[in-house]
Amino acid sequence: GENVEQHPSTLSVQEGDSAVIKCTYSDSASNYFPWYKQELGKGPQLIIDIRSNVGEKKDQRIAVTLNKTAKHFSLHITETQPEDSAVYFCAASPTPTNAGKSTFGDGTTLTVKP
Amino acid sequence: ETGVTQSPTHLIKTRGQQVTLRCSSQSGHNTVSWYQQALGQGPQFIFQYYREEENGRGNFPPRFSGLQFPNYSSELNVNALELDDSALYLCASRARDREFTHGYTFGSGTRLTVV
């Protein structure tokens, strides 16, 4: 089955700096890669996703890149703000339709210091 | 507002007991997945239901079972509870028949503690 590894497990940055979280996956059949943000006491919330036919996707301060050959994808957050502090999870599934059966990484706890 | 409500929010059970966790999805969400999230780990897929039928299962034993109802609510049942079952249980749902635009909506979870 699929295995997703996520690094780093914790990340601390100063407000305004950039943050990068990296994930690798093992199953070449994976083609859909969502990223989730989980705040304390809440369930994960989808913040951005990327499909295998796209190398990069941006949404305001958030961007995701995908290298399908190397089987890795990354989340980039620019101009970080204290409200970006949360646990971030990457995930992988064969298709968007199968996103409900995703394999998740173990999460990165991001702390943005004011 | 998430549109997905889970109950109860917290629960303490004794080893060997049985537990039922509930999820109420928003109208039209005919696909629901359940996940187990141990402390410090990512969610692990338990199973998915689509139109009241099981539609895929992760690496969990048969003592984990589920039901989905016509009113878009669902249940996760766990028999013969073990200490390792202590975790946050999440449900996530979407309207599968619609174009995939916003992904799955997660509930806030039920924190189960087995003692």
C-alpha distances (whole Å) from A97 to each of A33, B5, B102 are 12, 22, 11
For chains A and B, CB pairs below 8 A equal 60
In A26-105, beta strands by DSSP E: 32-38, 45-51, 56-59, 62-67, 72-77, 86-92, 103-104
Which residue ranges of chain B lie beneath pLDDT 50?
1
A42 near B CB under 8 A: yes
The mean pLDDT value for A59-75 works out to: 96
The reply to whether residue A100 touches residue B59, judged by beta carbons under 8 angstroms, is no
Give residue B1's pLDDT. Answer: 43
Q: Is the predicted pLDDT of residue A97 greater than 70, yes or no?
A: yes
Q: How confident is the model at residue A49 (pLDDT cuts 50, 70, 90)?
A: very high
The percentage of chain B sitting over the pLDDT mark of 70, rounded to a whole number, equals 92
Q: Is the predicted pLDDT of residue A58 greater than 90, yes or no?
A: yes
A108 near B CB under 8 A: no
Pairing state between β A32-38 and A19-25: unpaired
Q: Return the half-sphere exposure (C-beta side, CA atoms, 13 A cut-off) of residue A23.
A: 30
Give residue B97's pLDDT. Answer: 59
The mean pLDDT value for A65-75 works out to: 96
Give residue B95's pLDDT. Answer: 77
Interface test with A, best of B100, B102, B110 (most A CBs within 10 A): B100
The CB density around residue B40, as the number of other CB atoms within 10 Å, is: 10
Q: How confident is the model at residue A96 (pLDDT cuts 50, 70, 90)?
A: confident
In whole angstroms, what is the distance from residue A26 CA to residue B26 CA?
34
Interface of B with A (CB under 8 A): 2, 4, 31-33, 40-45, 48, 56, 58-59, 90, 92, 94, 96, 100, 102-104, 106-109
The mean pLDDT value for A35-40 works out to: 95
CB-based contact B65:B59 (threshold 8 Å): no
Give residue B98's pLDDT. Answer: 56
Q: Which two tokens stand for residue B55?
A: 């539609």
Please name the residues in contact with B101: beta carbons below 8 A apart, sequence gap of 6 or more: none
Cβ-in-10-Å burial (0-12, 13-18, 19+) of B67 comes to middle
